[in-house]
Structure 1
Amino acid sequence: MSNPDLMDALQALAADKGISVDTLFGALADALESAYKRLPGAHEYAWVTIDPETVEFRVMAQELDEDGEPIGEEFDVTPADFGRIAAQTAKQVMSQRIREVEREMKYEEYAGREGDIVTGIIQQTDSRYTLLDLGRVEALLPQAEQVPYEKPEPGARVKAYIVEVRKTAKGPQIVVSRTHPGLIKRLFELEVPEIADGVVEIKACAREPGARTKIAVWSNDPNVDPVGACVGARGARVRMVVNELRGEKIDIVPFSEDAPDFVAKALSPAKVKEVRIDEETGTAEVIVPDYQLSLAIGKEGQNARLAARLTGWRVDIKSESQLAEEQAYANQEWAEGEWVVDPETGEQVWQPAEGGEAISAEQWSQAAESLAEREVEDGPDAVVEALEADAQQRAAAAEGVDGEDSGGEPEEAAETAATVEDAVSTSSEPSSET
């Protein structure tokens, strides 16, 4: 059977659907084979052949043996009225196969494109997801992948990052994101030719969607400034990225293989005085001037948090005053002892490890106030000298040197006061005023 108009129809259909003519021939052959096998008395093992030049199709068959294997020669079993039967049954099968081919082509177009950036038009949105029209297919933008406080407006054109391409019975399902850090890298590739050419690389990226982003860039050419290439003339390049991200702030810092240097640069715009790296704990202790402390930490810790993600180190920021206080505290010698409960009075008292009279909390407080007043009036050096003198007097009293010259009660009172003051100044839990 031959139909001269069939070739024209197939070519027009192929052009309209974007499908090759050979693919349509295969779909047509399957449709005709399905139609033949529905006829009464049809051979079990039969197939349809189509001449691509004349569009002449025939039904060929072979006999089967007891094991179901084809035997003998092929023979033509084309029914006399097969054209009418084919016209009735092939249309539905043909339409179904064309839809399957279209779905397969759409999937093949986006399969393996995870990590690419696409531009779509917002179609509809609800509390669960937003649909983006990419042309031939639709992309799914889940609520979790949307930037907080960014309200999708129907008809608006946005760029999104392909996270996943799923193959479903209804066609490919493309999941995109507006919060993925990869979106930042792809946007800079579009705006910065040096990144697209591989001269400049984005080594690391840390992002809090809708608020702030930090990227570390590196140049493979010593004559190219990586930060300047990304910023552009008068900030033109980075401004395009910021506009696409609806005003999200972007910090661009140079990448460094030296960990302390990289951590210091990652905390930009804060000025860092010193960085100490502890590789065992993975901590970077950062020392900044007092007036730079709030800038280094950032609003609600944002700057420090992004710097830690960018560098991979746990960032611990301290001011110079805090460091000096810690060092002074660490260098101070503390007496050994512990706070215990007096079994007779039930009060909490300080019991020195070397023995001696226990000190009540009230005595502790009075001694702390006394030391604080003496430090304000005479200075810390005078307090130290007084404590040393009291300690010497207490030692001499214990040996009986001053026992005859001083009255029993005054000597005992002086010894108790010295013991209290010494304990306050040297205990493991000193007063904050001392």
Structure 2
Amino acid sequence: MNAEFIEALGQLEKEKGISKDILIEAIEAALISGYKRNFHSAQNVRVDIDRMSGRVRVFARKNVVEDVLDPRLEISLDASKEINSSFELDDIVEIEVTPADFGRIAAQTAKQVVTQRIREAERSIIYQNFIEREDDIVTGIVQRTDNRYYYIDLGRVEAILPHNETMPGERFKHGDRVKTYVTKVEKSTKGPQIFVSRTHPGLLKRLFELEVPEIFEGIVEIRSVAREAGLRSKIAVYSRDTNVDPVGACVGHKGVRVQTVVNELRGEKIDIVRWSEEMDEWIANALSPSKVTSVTIYEEEKMARVIVPDHQLSLAIGKEGQNARLAAKLTNWKIDIKSESEAVDSISKTDSNSEVDFDSDLSTEES
């Protein structure tokens, strides 16, 4: 190694942000192993690289002892005095043992260490960049697929999209451009692993943040999201400005904003409902598009009993219970839905049972 190599390390420090001193220390540590391996030495050695010239030297480190048992690790007091009269017992004496052709080994080792450290530094930078993008949207190109995953090229790294994190019927081919939601970033021996999803409720939330300026600016807030990916979703929105309609802001002029999100999610139906501090109103809104007659709140059970017009019952419940299920997820409350007729019948039966019990009590008293 020479001065040009040291200058190159300085340039790497500027370009890659890898400390020159840390690199040199790593090369020195690697050269110790290289020396012992190539020259079959069991000596305790130290490698020194001159920070200016790049000159590499190897020093054997020996303890000063009274009686030498292992000459590879020890030196007598008399022998140490010949080197320097100031040495005493238990001091460490360093004797240069640099092999004649050690420069070649040093150059090869330095190249390997620098290459490895550059790779590690780049992986660390990528990891730091993407750990900050957890719970965010990334856009990439589908590179390849296997039985379990799609591999999405994000530029400097590949993201992993599991097949079970894609929407029903969704298939991608090489070269497709796709938006995904970063669910997890992990370190591995091969570099950072980035897991993404197309089914996560967070994807819906981030898409609306991209399309609706009022959300990005903090005027409109998404309070809750419930999603059955590829089929139907509900989002609850709230406006901090009484002059801004949160639902209208998300729908956009002629529905253009919500339609952009729907198109990205391959036609997934989206209900946008208004969040309310009043729980009865909030639950009624969550069951949109059905109309609600009344809502009775049971705080302790965290349950609501909802009455809807007879002709609205199927709409309130939804196909295979989907609307009611999503409303329950959105509000995090149990919701019991009955039609007006069912509610009346239930009251009538309750009254009838009460009358029977009353008559029975009278009969008992008379007898």
Short-chain TM bin = 0.7 to 0.9
Q: Does structure 2 retain, via aligned residues, the 8 Å contact 1:33–1:48?
A: no
CA shift for structure 1 position 141? 1.3
Q: Which residue is 2:197 aligned to?
A: 177
Once residues 157 and 181 of structure 1 are traced to their aligned partners in structure 2, the CA distance between those partners, rounded to angstroms, is 20
Residue 78 of structure 1, CA deviation: 4.5
Q: How far apart, CA to CA, are the structure 1 residues paired with 2:95 and 2:154?
A: 50
Tell me, in whole angstroms, the C-alpha distance in 1 between the residues paired with 2:108 and 2:146: 43
Deviations 1:64-88 (A, max 9, x none): 57899x9457776554433223234
1:87-126 aligned within 5 A: 87-126=107-146
Among candidates 322, 326, 340, match of residue 342 of structure 2? 322
Partner of 2:308: 288
Post-superposition offset of 1:34: 3.5
SS at match of 1:168: coil
Q: Separation in 1 of the partners of 2:102 and 2:325?
A: 74
**In structure 1, what is the equivalent of residue 184 of structure 2?**
164
Question: SS state of the match for residue 181, structure 2?
Answer: strand
Query: What displacement does 1:269 show?
Result: 1.2
Corresponding residue number in structure 2 for 1:2: 2
Distance 2:243 2:361 in 1: 67
State the distance in 1 between where 2:166 and 2:14 align. Answer: 38
Q: CA deviation at 1:279?
A: 1.6
CA-CA distance at 1:226 after TM superposition: 1.7
Contact 1:30 1:48 in 2 (8 A): no
Q: Any idea what SS the aligned residue of 1:120 has?
A: strand
- Is the 8 Å Cα contact of residues 217 and 255 (structure 1) preserved in structure 2? yes
Rate the CA distance shift 1:176–1:332 in 2: closer, same or farther, 3 A: same
Q: Is the 8 A contact 2:223 2:237 kept in 1?
A: yes
Letter of the structure 1 residue corresponding to residue 182 of structure 2: I
RMSD, aligned α-carbons: 3.4
- The higher relative CO (CA closer than 8 Å, separation ≥ 6) is in 2
**Paired residues, what number?**
338
Q: Which runs of 5+ in 1 are unaligned?
A: 337-351, 356-394, 399-434
**2:56–2:103 contact (8 Å) kept in structure 1:** no
1:85 is matched by which residue type in structure 2? I
Does residue 265 of structure 1 match 2:265? no
Correspondence 1:24-423 to 2 at 5 A: 24-25=23-24, 27-38=26-37, 39-40=39-40, 43-51=43-51, 54-59=53-58, 62-64=61-63, 71-72=91-92, 78-333=98-353, 335=356
Secondary structure of the structure 2 residue equivalent to 1:332: helix
Deviation track 1:307-358 (CA, whole Å, cap 9, x = no partner) reads 111111111111111111111121114646xxxxxxxxxxxxxxx9999xxx
Identity among equivalent positions (%) equals 54
Structure 2 residues not aligned, in runs of 5+: 66-72, 75-89
CA separation of 1:201 and 1:81: change in aligned 2, threshold 3 A: same
Structure 1 contact 203–216 (Cα < 8 Å) conserved = yes
Secondary structure of the structure 1 residue equivalent to 2:243: coil
User: Hey, what does 2:87 align to over in structure 1?
Assistant: none
User: What is the TM-score when the length of structure 2 is the normalising length?
Assistant: 0.79
SS at match of 2:173: coil
How far is 1:299 from its partner?
1.5
Distance of 1:256 and 1:50 partners within structure 2: 70
Q: In 2, distance between residues paired with 1:224 and 1:86? A: 69
Question: Structure 1 54/250 Cα, relative in aligned 2: closer, same or farther at 3 Å?
Answer: farther
C-alpha distance in 1, partners of 2:99/2:140? 51
Q: How far off its partner does 1:205 sit?
A: 0.5
Residues 131-176 of structure 1 deviation map (CA, whole Å, 9 limit, x = unaligned): 1111111111122222121112221111111111222222222111
Q: Partners in 2 of 1:114 and 1:197 — Cα distance?
A: 21
**2:45 and 2:58 in contact (8 A); partners too:** no
Shift of 1:59: 4.6
- SS of alignment partner, residue 235 of structure 1: helix
- Relative to structure 1, the CA distance from residue 122 to residue 137 in structure 2 (aligned partners, 3 Å threshold; closer, same or farther) is same
Q: Name the CA distance, whole Å, in 1 between partners of 2:139 and 2:174.
A: 14
